[in-house]
């Protein structure tokens, strides 16, 4: 992926608000710049300021005018972080200067994107805000790997959960026992670091260790990597493959499917 044409400004010192602006939350999709929505791209091109995540399709920033300020508020797992409170503050400050601010995210703003928190903070400050949905990686990543999250005769539904806290963690609010017996596809986001505990926990709760499973890394990019295994073996296979974040894990009968023509990004013209 090509870097932005200029170095993003770090979100550090607050600025004094002095006007009335607006904020648009834009979901950029799973990674490939061709997968942003038309409305999302239009909003990005109308921005005075772009407040961006590291998982947004950053190639699109190269086409913006040099006058557009880009502020980096990346959150690196177990690394450098910009607090959500500071991000909210940046959005309010910049809009208060009378600017059109685009909050640029990967995936969809309301799917583990904390978009709801940002909308509440902006609304409380009296800032007009609009949300442009994005293609969520929870569906797109499996699809780009040739895996449908639903498929007649195999599963009648799917559940998307965060894996940042695994089964048995006191912070978890997920009923992993219920998921193990749901009979639906399980899609896990943010679960690379905890994958062993997730898979082990599901087996302990009664899920068949031979259940098909797959992990998709860098979905939608030229670096996309897919590994397939059983539920019991997936953590070992993922570790051996050297897969890191961002990655999406799919557990269930559909993970044994590989539909022809849907996993080859080059043939679809999505990877440049």
What tokens appear for 7 in the block? 């170095």
For helices 115-124 and 84-96, angle between their N-to-C axes, nearest 10 degrees: 40
Q: Decide if 1 is catalytic.
A: no
The DSSP-derived string for 106-150 is: SB-TTSSS-HHHHHHHHHHTT--EEEE----HHHHHHHHTT--S-
CB atoms within 10 A of CB 200: 17
Report H helices in 38-83.
38-45
Catalytic position from the list 48, 53, 72, 218: 53
* Given 32, 48, 108, 190, the catalytic residue: 190
Please say whether the beta carbons of 46 and 23 come within 8 A.
no
**Does the active-site annotation cover 53?**
yes
In the annotation, is 190 catalytic?
yes
Residue position matching structure tokens 């080059």: 266
- CA terminus-to-terminus distance, the chain: 9
Give the Cα separation of 85 and 182 in Å (integer).
36
Beta-carbon contacts of residue 21 (< 8 Å; ≥ 6 apart):
48, 94, 95, 96, 97, 98, 99, 100, 101, 127
Annotated active-site positions, please? 53, 75, 190
């Amino acid at each position: 992926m090509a870097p932005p044409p200029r170095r993003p400004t770090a979100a550090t010192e607050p600025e004094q608000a002095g006007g009335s602006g607006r904020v648009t939350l834009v979901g950029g999709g799973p990674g490939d710049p061709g997968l942003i929505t038309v409305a999302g791209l239009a909003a990005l091109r109308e921005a005075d300021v772009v407040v961006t995540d590291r998982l947004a399709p950053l190639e699109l920033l190269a086409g913006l005018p040099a006058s557009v300020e880009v502020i980096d508020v990346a959150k690196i797992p177990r690394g450098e972080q910009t607090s959500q409170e500071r991000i909210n503050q940046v959005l309010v400050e910049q809009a208060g200067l009378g600017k059109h601010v685009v909050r640029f995210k990967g995936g969809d703003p309301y799917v583990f994107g904390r978009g709801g928190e940002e909308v509440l903070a902006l609304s409380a400050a009296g800032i007009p805000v609009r949300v442009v949905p994005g293609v969520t990686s929870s569906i797109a990543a499996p699809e780009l790997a040739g895996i449908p999250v639903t498929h007649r005769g195999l599963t009648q539904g799917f559940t998307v959960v965060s894996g940042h806290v695994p089964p048995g963690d006191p912070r978890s609010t997920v009923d992993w026992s219920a998921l193990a017996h749901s009979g639906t596809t399980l899609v896990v986001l943010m679960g690379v670091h905890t994958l062993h505990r997730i898979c082990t926990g599901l087996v302990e709760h009664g899920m068949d260790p031979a259940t098909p499973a797959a992990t998709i890394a860098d979905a939608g990019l030229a670096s996309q990597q897919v590994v397939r295994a059983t539920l019991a073996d997936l953590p070992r296979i993922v570790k051996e493959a050297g897969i890191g974040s961002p990655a999406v894990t799919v557990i269930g009968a559909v993970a044994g499917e590989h539909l022809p023509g849907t996993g080859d990004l080059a043939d679809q013209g999505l990877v440049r």
